[in-house]
Amino acid sequence: MSRHAPRVDDLLVSSNFIRAVRESGYVSISTALAELVDNSLQASASEVAIRISRDGADALPEIVVEDNGCGMSKAELEICLRFGGSSRFDARQSFGRFGMGLPAASLSQARRVEVTAWRHGGYERTVALDVDAIVAGSDPTLVAHRGPRGTSASGCRVRWMQCDRIEYRRLVWLDRSLHRELGRMYRRFIASGLRLTINGTPVEAVDPTMLTAEVEGASARLAFEQLHYELETVGGGTAIVTVRFAMLPVERWHHLDNVTKRRAGIVGSGGVSILRAGREIASGWYLMGGKRKENYDDWWRCEVEFDPRLDEHFGITINKQGIRPSATLREAIEPELESIARMLNARVRQAFEDVKFQAAAEASCRIAAAADPDLPVISAPGRPGAIQYRLGSEALPIETMFHSALADRTLDLTMNADHPAFAALYQPLQAIEGEAAAALRTSLELFLLSFARSAVQLERAGQPLDDLVHTWSSTYGRMLQKS
């Protein structure tokens, strides 16, 4: 009995295969649309227009994505809807790799997809896939049919018809979601000049690191210089993973209400953004080792960018959603990233403690300023008048209990948060509550402010420090009278 090797056609039941492809795992319509935008960028498009429409309240939506890229030849067009039909199969220079994105993404959202392309101002040519026709036994329309002349020098148009997987009941909600999600995915390209529009409205870049976002006149800042890790590629060469950490300004944004913080992306957007070839493919809590995410971790951000040649290390899937880091990648960068995450968490905690410290100290500073007109005048260059006071805390050299300076009629007293005296003076106050604790703290802070003022007064007057105790005692008494 002779046996023949099965043909490729024998390996697939086309009607079942098409229905299975519809369940290809795109987590949202934005990730499916991203496959089309990727193709446009790979075709050197500078403009990508997305149009969403619906003929009547009960009709299924239709989505059209059109670009001004280099278009496709007739031969390229006739394979673009074939699964694995790509002239760049397994290429690592840009976005695409397997030739599965266009047909899989399209059928995951729509029952029919049409692709039209044109070049050099020539005629448009169109191919199509129709789920219902294939299930009914018809052959797909993969022969390019000629249409009218192109509307621009070259380009491509993908039309999704009968979009039955869109969960949004109102298209305005879909529009808003796509602006936010595509703006985040393609933030690098938008910032570099890509014009991406949805129903004519430009998509704005959304930067989760908040380095380029301004709220209340402030932006995030790099925590330190970016990090670089060199890993071996499957092809035998090496490629670089670049990591950036950003710190959000707690002192400028802590007072905002929760609605404003969420709308601005200050809370609810923390974690790690993973970029492949400049495009975000995942966001979440990646490569942080054993550290769990806490609320304080909203106030710093991490961005990890890698070259497509490192796809195997990041475990990239066909639809470019999420990552599955290899053991080699985790061993190379995870311990250091976890250590940095813990350090930044501690910085944020300290920043909030400093904010609380500053807020509580403002009452003492107001009392000291009210007492100042009754105290000996301290001569200093600049504008005349009573001295204003500021009391803060930060990390100073361990042997320094505090640092004080008078500049522009403001006496700045900074307590050393790392000195044993800071914990000895303030930790007991934090353990008690109520008016008694507030009064005790005010007395303590006036004690410190009066010392700092007395020291400056004697220093400016050229008097010996032997007189410090007397001057300090008098100044402290005046301040306490005002409290």
Please say if the pLDDT value at position 186 is more than 70: yes
pTM: 0.78
Residue 390 has phi, psi (to 5 degrees) of -135, 130
Q: Lowest mean pLDDT: which of 224-233, 335-344, 359-368? A: 359-368
SS3 106: helix
What pLDDT band is residue 1 in, cutting at 50, 70 and 90?
very low
Please say if the pLDDT value at position 222 is more than 70: yes
128-142 pLDDT, tens digit per residue, is 988 888 887 777 777
- Show Cβ contacts of residue 479 under 8 Å, excluding neighbours closer than 6 positions: 367, 368, 371, 446, 449, 450
pLDDT, average across residues 205-234: 94
Please say if the pLDDT value at position 467 is more than 80: no
Strand 271-276 relative to strand 300-306: parallel, antiparallel, unpaired?
parallel
Q: Which residue has the tokens 């909600």?
A: 173
Please say if the pLDDT value at position 456 is more than 90: no
Please say if the pLDDT value at position 10 is more than 60: no
Please say if the pLDDT value at position 176 is more than 90: yes
Q: In the 3-class helix/strand/coil scheme, how is 165-192 assigned residue by residue?
A: CCCCCCHHHHHHHHHHHHHHHCHHHHHC
Contact between 141 and 125 (Cβ < 8 Å): no
Mean of the per-residue pLDDT values of the chain: 86
Q: What is the pLDDT of residue 8?
A: 43
- Residue count of the chain, please give it: 483
pLDDT, average across residues 345-361: 84
Q: Lowest mean pLDDT: which of 119-133, 195-209, 213-227, 233-247? A: 119-133
Q: What is the pLDDT of residue 7?
A: 47
Q: Regarding predicted confidence, which is higher, 377 or 230? A: 230
Domain 12-202, classified CATH 1.10.30.50, yes or no: no
Contact between 266 and 214 (Cβ < 8 Å): no
Please say if the pLDDT value at position 316 is more than 80: yes
pLDDT, average across residues 448-463: 86
What's the distance, Cα to Cα, between the start and end of the chain in Å? 107
Please say if the pLDDT value at position 125 is more than 60: yes
- Show Cβ contacts of residue 396 under 8 Å, excluding neighbours closer than 6 positions: 402, 403, 414, 416, 417, 418, 419
Q: What is the pLDDT of residue 98?
A: 47
Please say if the pLDDT value at position 397 is more than 90: no
Q: What is the pLDDT of residue 238?
A: 95
Q: What is the pLDDT of residue 278?
A: 94
147-172 pLDDT, tens digit per residue, is 888 777 999 999 999 998 887 778 89
Please say if the pLDDT value at position 76 is more than 80: yes
Portion of the chain with pLDDT greater than 70, in percent: 88
Q: What is the pLDDT of residue 23?
A: 67
Q: What is the pLDDT of residue 366?
A: 92
What pLDDT band is residue 306 in, cutting at 50, 70 and 90?
very high
Please say if the pLDDT value at position 394 is more than 90: no
How far is residue 59 from each of residues 52, 106, 169, measured CA to CA in Å? Answer: 13, 18, 11
Q: Lowest mean pLDDT: which of 30-39, 117-126, 195-204, 437-446? A: 437-446
Q: Lowest mean pLDDT: which of 12-26, 270-284, 298-312? A: 12-26
Domain boundaries along the sequence of the chain: 12-202, 221-347, 375-482
What pLDDT band is residue 95 in, cutting at 50, 70 and 90?
low
Q: Which helix (DSSP H) or strand (DSSP E) does residue 275 occupy? A: strand 271-276
What pLDDT band is residue 314 in, cutting at 50, 70 and 90?
very high
318-349 pLDDT, tens digit per residue, is 666 778 999 999 999 999 999 999 999 999 98
400-412 pLDDT, tens digit per residue, is 788 888 888 899 9
- Report DSSP letters for 357-402, one per residue: HHHHHHHHHHHHHHHGGGSPPPP-SS--SPPEEEEEEE---TT-SE
Please say if the pLDDT value at position 228 is more than 80: yes
Q: What is the pLDDT of residue 334?
A: 96
CATH ID of 221-347, from 3.40.50, 3.30.230, 3.30.70, 3.10.450: 3.30.230
DSSP E strands in 96-202: the ranges are 112-118, 123-130, 141-149, 155-161, 195-198, 201-202
Q: Which helix (DSSP H) or strand (DSSP E) does residue 240 occupy? A: strand 238-247
Contact between 83 and 113 (Cβ < 8 Å): no
Please say if the pLDDT value at position 396 is more than 90: no
SS3 33: helix
